Amino acid sequence: MTTFRTARNDDVPALADLWNRGTPDSGVARPLKPRELGDAAFSHQYFDLRGLVLAVEEGRPVGFAHSGVGPAEPAGPSHRPDPTLGTVAMMVVDPDADADRIGPALVGHAARSLRGRGAEVLYAGGQYPLNPFYWGIYGGSEFSGILRGHEAFHRAVLEEGFREVSRSVLMELGLVGVSDPPFDPRSLLLRRRFRVVIEPDCSFDRWWDAMALGATFATAFRLEDAHGRPIARATTWDMSGFERLDGRLRVGLVDVDVSLEHRRQGLGRHLIREVIRHHVSRGIHALCVQTRSENEPARELYRGLGFRQVDEAVLYRLDPA
């Protein structure tokens, strides 16, 4: 018989074992020690034990679901959560257990927990800023939904009535053997006009990002004009833990942005080329990025720089009854 209960502090080793055996083989940091999983997923400011439910059989946890909420504002002085928007952020079932029976039950428990805490709109997976707890250990460079290989999670949310609302593509650029990014004839001119500023071991501007990735080694990149005004920016973070299955050191690329008045001038491409050049010099094996599947301009930009799609992630929403 399967019973369900909220987690306890002494469950963390069992949760880490489930994580290491029940999550996909790619796009995930694993294996993780209990302390590492606890620090990443269960030590956030808004962690609520009521949102972490376990499925137990014969006294042994065989699955868990973890739900939470996002911030009212991911930037600025207010660090308030938004209890009206909730998500079933994670679900993992022991691969030797009956996932098609246990998974939907876990998702149902998580959804009811969110409703009981005031959530009015429910999602499954996550997408910025509704991505509590698992950004940094799941989903590659960003946490944008349920990974393609996480089949039990997909089946469970569909069984519980969730429907797909967004899809993201995860892309990767291999850096081993790369001496220089693909040639761009505009680069020489842009280098004369704009200065590249690189800030290693930087902090994150938004508090929500810092809560998820603040313990990682991050690097800020800026393009500045002749007057020192920033006109484009990007950030990378070292994806520690994602290399444990295949030995490839990865860096995640996030927050690529060009000021409105300077767009469509090749500055985004120029900045990413500098990002590539920097991490080649560090000996990094791969640069990871992701974007919405419908964002064809971004996908074309990354393909033109040599990135290839390696995975995808799906965000689901539960329509009101």
Q: What is the pLDDT of residues 52-98, one digit of tens each?
A: 999 999 999 999 999 999 999 998 888 888 999 999 999 999 999 99
Q: Is 143 helix (H, G, I), strand (E, B) or coil?
A: coil
124 and 103 Cβ atoms separated by less than 8 Å? no
Decide whether 2-169 matches 173-310 in CATH topology.
yes
Q: Is 44 helix (H, G, I), strand (E, B) or coil?
A: coil
47 and 68 Cβ atoms separated by less than 8 Å? yes
| Out of 129-133, 183-187, 232-236, least confident range | 183-187
**Would you say residue 210 has pLDDT above 80?**
yes
Residue matched to tokens 């390696």: 310
CA dist 149 and 245 (Å) reads 15
**Would you say residue 219 has pLDDT above 90?**
yes
Q: Which residue would you say has higher pLDDT here, 126 or 313? A: 313
* pLDDT, average across residues 251-261: 94
- Identity of the residue numbered 88: V
**Would you say residue 320 has pLDDT above 80?**
no
Residue matched to tokens 């074992």: 17
User: Which residues make Cβ contacts (< 8 Å) with residue 17, sequence separation at least 6?
Assistant: none
What is residue 264's predicted lDDT score, i.e. its pLDDT? 87
* pLDDT, average across residues 283-288: 97
CA dist 285 and 5 (Å) reads 42
CA dist 25 and 226 (Å) reads 46
Q: Which CATH number does the domain 2-169 belong to among 3.30.499.10, 1.10.287.110, 3.40.630.30, 3.40.50.300? A: 3.40.630.30
CA dist 246 and 237 (Å) reads 19
Question: What CATH class does 173-310 carry?
Answer: alpha beta
**Would you say residue 280 has pLDDT above 90?**
yes
In this prediction, residue 160 has a pLDDT band, given cuts at 50, 70 and 90, of very high
Q: Which two tokens stand for residue 22?
A: 């029940």
Report field, pTM of the whole predicted structure over 0.85: yes
Q: Which residue would you say has higher pLDDT here, 189 or 15? A: 15
Residue matched to tokens 């998500």: 87
> Percentage of residues in the chain with pLDDT exceeding 90?
84
Q: Which residues of 155-171 are buried (b: 16+ CB within 10 A; e: fewer)?
A: ebbeebebebebebbbb
| Residue ranges of domains in the chain | 2-169, 173-310
* pLDDT, average across residues 189-212: 92
In this prediction, residue 216 has a pLDDT band, given cuts at 50, 70 and 90, of very high
- Identity of the residue numbered 59: G
124 and 157 Cβ atoms separated by less than 8 Å? yes
What is residue 321's predicted lDDT score, i.e. its pLDDT? 62
In this prediction, residue 36 has a pLDDT band, given cuts at 50, 70 and 90, of very high
**Would you say residue 192 has pLDDT above 70?**
yes
Q: Which residue would you say has higher pLDDT here, 316 or 75? A: 316
What is residue 262's predicted lDDT score, i.e. its pLDDT? 87
What is residue 190's predicted lDDT score, i.e. its pLDDT? 83
Residue by residue, DSSP assigns 16-37 as HHHHHHHS-SSSB--S--HHHH
Mean pLDDT rounded to a whole number for the chain: 94
What is residue 319's predicted lDDT score, i.e. its pLDDT? 82
| Out of 70-74, 158-162, 214-218, 237-241, least confident range | 70-74
